[in-house]
Amino acid sequence: MTRFSLTLEFDGTPFQGLQRQKHGSTIQQSLEQAIFDVTGEEAILHSAGRTDSGVHALAMRSHVDIAKDISPFRLAEALNAKLRPAPIAVTRCEIKPDDWHARFSCIGRSYIYKILNRRAPLTLDKKRAWHIRPDLDADAMQRAARSLVGLHDFTTFRSVHCQSESPVKTLDRLDIRREGEWVLVETAARSFLHHQVRSMVGCLALVGMGRWEENRIADALQARDRQELGLNAPPHGLYFVHADYPEEQDTMQEHI
């Protein structure tokens, strides 16, 4: 049995999220079916994170155990052929030790949320960004975001359906910048609560539109009350960017 690490890129628009669901197509279901078609094995896909319906990924890390004697290159090529025309691609495939786990070995996850801030409607980026017409003050959003960085109880920014044992998380980074018509929100942490990123972005957008004072973000955080949440940003602007693993950080350091 060989453990393969898969790096996945996908457009989440037509799916009910990454994790297998009772109803509707998911990324996991699509990959597991492709693996069965290639190997004849009923393998289970494990991933670094869970994404909601409509959320995208640039480099989601997953793993699967396969008994068939097949090289990483051949496996990736075969899976991509079976996945067509679904908007999912295996961009990298590697062999990992048996104790490596896409979820439990992961020590950091990062996301980017894309807002297209203009009057004109979306065309090419429809369902791939949040369209906000009023001008956003990205500098005010950045100042307000500072109160969220660090170790906090994020109950206000947590979905009522969140399955995490604790609402306490350490947010390592939350940066907002403007690039022309785009307002980009980048964030990183060891792990996130369900809807945490979308909830933070939604409230920060209210600051950017002038509907919330900057200090209201800190007040909402301190309230530890979901009722204080102002807005949950839609899923289609959110992208899973990267997953960090200790041994890969060591490899990166060797090449610096």
52 assigned to active site: yes
The tokens for 132 are 């906000």
8 three-state secondary structure: strand
Distance, first Cα to last Cα, the chain: 34
The CA angle 212-217-221, to the nearest 5 degrees, is: 145
Which entry of 52, 99, 125, 139 is annotated as an active-site residue?
Answer: 52
Distance from chain centroid for Cα 122:
22
Contact 89, 80 (CB under 8 A): yes
Q: Which residues pair with 201 in a beta bridge?
A: none
Name the one residue in this structure whose structure tokens are 């980009």: 184
Residues marked as catalytic: 52
